[in-house]
Chain A
């Protein structure tokens, strides 16, 4: 199912393409994020660059003792390929989703944003939780799988096939770029 609409006020949200995490993403994923960020900026649309400095403290099977496992500052630096500008919104999260532990919703509301395009890593963790939170908050959500990457193909594929179609529209980088061009 294609992207049906680009709202007048969309925003791109790029998740966790930072020093400690971006190396897990394929080169094509980084390239697609660069392409999307450039296209959004060229149209005068909002770009949000998100990084993460730790996780939620709860005990889980993968983190049996619990604890936030804070990252050192050098691990949180956004990668150069994103070409961050002064007009980009930057938020640092301490949970999986970009809304729960930041003021991102307030910032997007102030700008009148109604639709968010989500990219980044990892597909099933930071990107999926951000897409879920955006859906819950009432945004129209577009997810761009060829601009996302995960630790395993299985996790990436499950998010794309089982989860995203229920909470957003799934599109490729080139479909998004084309749709943005038509809107202009």
Chain B
């Protein structure tokens, strides 16, 4: 299903393409970084906001995957963005402490101050930071577009299921080429 509309004020959110995550070897990382870089360039050229998002922590709650609880903490160079993104001074930077980029950060204010009504989301991992950021954006009233060839997950079942079954419920999905063509 193609992207229906580009709002007058869109923004690009690039999730967790930081050195420590790009270096994990998630299948598809190279393409995700390259497509994100192409989108970043196009959004910058059009004068639209771009937000580079990195992560420094995860929540403390107990889970089956982490029965004792206690979240991860990251600092220093691990948070630096991949060089391929070509970060420039005018890029907005948001550091998040949970999976989603909105909770506990200034992201919503940064977007609403600029009149943004639609967010395009890319990054790693599809089922974690990307999906959570999209759910948060949708709940906050934004139109959300997910760029399917600019996101990856190490779990191939999650990647497939989230792209085909989950994201269509609360986003419009499009490829990098479709977004570049309509921008």
In the bound assembly, the distance between CA atoms of A5 and B139 in angstroms comes to 31
User: Which of B1, B4, B61 has a CB less than 8 Å from the CB of A140?
Assistant: B61
Residues from chain A with Cβ under 8 Å of B59 in the complex: 135-136, 138, 167
Residues from chain A with Cβ under 8 Å of B155 in the complex: 162
Q: Which of A106-140 contact B (CB under 8 A)?
A: 124-125, 129, 132, 134-140
Residues from chain A with Cβ under 8 Å of B166 in the complex: 124, 158
Q: Is A59 part of the contact surface with B, judged by Cβ < 8 Å?
A: yes
Q: Is A85 part of the contact surface with B, judged by Cβ < 8 Å?
A: no
Q: Which of A83-114 contact B (CB under 8 A)?
A: 95-97, 100-101
Q: In the complex, which range does the number of interface residues on chain A fall in?
A: 35 or more
Flag the segment in A20-28, A33-41, A60-68, A175-183 that touches B: A60-68
Q: Is A73 part of the contact surface with B, judged by Cβ < 8 Å?
A: no
In the bound assembly, the distance between CA atoms of A166 and B98 in angstroms comes to 13
Task: Judge whether A169 and B157 touch: CB under 8 Å.
Answer: no
In the bound assembly, the distance between CA atoms of A136 and B103 in angstroms comes to 7
Task: Judge whether B165 and A96 touch: CB under 8 Å.
Answer: no
- Cβ of B18 to closest chain A Cβ, rounded Å: 19
- In chain A, what residue has the closest Cβ to B103? A136
Residues from chain A with Cβ under 8 Å of B128 in the complex: 166
User: Which of A60, A101, A137, A169 has a CB less than 8 Å from the CB of B139?
Assistant: A101
Task: Judge whether A162 and B144 touch: CB under 8 Å.
Answer: no
Known contacts A58-B143, A136-B98; A165 and B63 CB within 8 A of each other: yes
Residues from chain A with Cβ under 8 Å of B61 in the complex: 134-135, 138-141, 167-168
Task: Judge whether A60 and B64 touch: CB under 8 Å.
Answer: no
- What total of chain B residues lie within 8 Å of the partner, measured CB to CB? 41
Q: Is A170 part of the contact surface with B, judged by Cβ < 8 Å?
A: yes
Known contacts A158-B161, A162-B127; A61 and B65 CB within 8 A of each other: no
User: Which of B62, B67, B98, B141 has a CB less than 8 Å from the CB of A58?
Assistant: B141
Q: Is B120 part of the contact surface with A, judged by Cβ < 8 Å?
A: no
Flag the segment in B20-28, B74-82, B83-91, B167-175 that touches A: B167-175
Known contacts A60-B170, A129-B139, A136-B98; A168 and B64 CB within 8 A of each other: yes
Q: Is A71 part of the contact surface with B, judged by Cβ < 8 Å?
A: no
Write the residues of chain B forming the contact surface with A, with a CB cutoff of 8 angstroms.
1, 4-5, 59-65, 67, 69, 98-100, 103, 127-128, 132, 135-144, 155, 157-158, 161, 165-166, 168-173
Write the residues of chain A forming the contact surface with B, with a CB cutoff of 8 angstroms.
1, 4-5, 56-62, 64, 66, 95-97, 100-101, 124-125, 129, 132, 134-141, 154-155, 158, 162-170
